[in-house]
Amino acid sequence: MKTAIIGLGYVGLPLSIQFTKSGVEVLGLDIDQKKADFLNRGESYIKHIGTEAVSQMKESGLFEASTDFSRIKECKAAIICVPTPLNKNREPDISYVLRTGEAIAPHLQPGTLVTLESTTYPGTTDTELREVLENGSGLKAGTDFYLAYSPEREDPGNPDSKVAIIPKVVGGYTPECQEKAIELYSKAINTMIPVGTCRAAEATKLTENIFRSVNIALVNELKMIFDAMDIDIWEVINAAKTKPFGFMPFYPGPGLGGHCIPIDPFYLTWKAREYEHSTRFIELAGEINTSMPDYVISKVADALNAQKKSINGSKILILGLSYKPNVDDDRESPSYILLEKLQSKGAEISYYDPHVPVVPMTREHAKWTGTPSIEWSKKNLASFDAVIISTNHQEVDYDELVATCPVIIDTRNALSGVSTQPGQVTKA
């Protein structure tokens, strides 16, 4: 079952690697010629996905990357893994999904399976995407071709997160569509979780990430309350998680980042209005999480004030640009918000990230494009009035940081276990 995987990013590339490992021939499709060239040379462009894995995929003879979407006619299945961001009004933007549908529809052959993995609101697959595919192909979903939704469950940078062992939720447009999707995914993934409809599968993905968003908002709120009481939230969480039942640890931070948690809950918020329902819990969690950069900046101001300095005119270093440790994924990173807000208050801003040596192009923060990370050296570190640990990368020499920088704002408890001077570190 030759399979096209459309979108060769943080979701599509690991999926391609796993399918070829399982003996499935894969045609990788992307609009970016540079990505296709990298992969056809057996090279990776995502840091936490090693070149060795990509090289093995290419050497297997089962993978080819292309930008020619007409080649979908060669394939028995197509898996869509393209971005689904929010627009500037924080409304769902499924244009990448629909444009992909428009690109493949004229070349869709009878009997082909099309599966969407991009996170979206319930109804996208069986309405908007289905209509685009039917109108462009002249074929009918569930009769002439198969249609399904199966949400991605990627956890970038987590060595225990392996595509083959993560259970796969699958919802088909018809029972026959579901059978076909399960047949495909079973070739590469161990466990199938069938649900009754595409909409149930779409709702499953949203529920997973709303659960995380709400619980992160809870610990972020507790962090601020406990700080006012001079109680360390990290100590509290570490104690609470020793309870063997009824508690799951979540951790505070400077805000939410990544391709899922800051975005996915608002897909349901938007869709719920169509059914005359408000989503107060989800929206409150969003308000708390998006307010975290301002809380961090207030702690920066307090720490500098203790040194008889102000944010205006201070040199401040953001440590970590990616949204989570040990990856180069900077999507929706709260570090960008910190950079912009601190700069607007008159600070001279720089960043250090061993995984992001130069700021890539982003839609929301284009003005930072091309900005280089500083070089790590005692001389450079000593030039800053304050350092904010926004992402706790393992590669960072925290002992050297503490030995060099007099004011450190730690948003990730990264300095736990590191010997520091009284008043040197402010938790935020």
Angstrom distance (rounded) from CA 330 to CA 336: 9
Angstrom distance (rounded) from CA 84 to CA 177: 23
* Burial (0-12, 13-18, 19+ Cβ within 10 Å), 98: middle
Query: Catalytic residue among 177, 198, 260, 405, which?
Result: 260
Do 27 and 69 form a contact (C-beta atoms < 8 A)? no
Long-range contact list for 228-233, CB < 8 A, 24+ apart?
Answer: 232/427, 233/427
Length of the chain (residues) = 428
DSSP annotation of 92 reads B
Angstrom distance (rounded) from CA 398 to CA 380: 15
Angstrom distance (rounded) from CA 102 to CA 79: 14
What is the largest distance, in Å, between two alpha-carbon atoms of the chain? 73
Number of alpha carbons in the 13 Å side-chain half-sphere of residue 5: 26
Do 427 and 413 form a contact (C-beta atoms < 8 A)? yes
User: Taking the alpha carbons of 311, 312, 315, 317 in that order, is the dihedral positive or negative?
Assistant: positive
β 192-195/146-149 pair status: unpaired
For this structure, is 177 an active site residue? no
Positions marked catalytic: 260
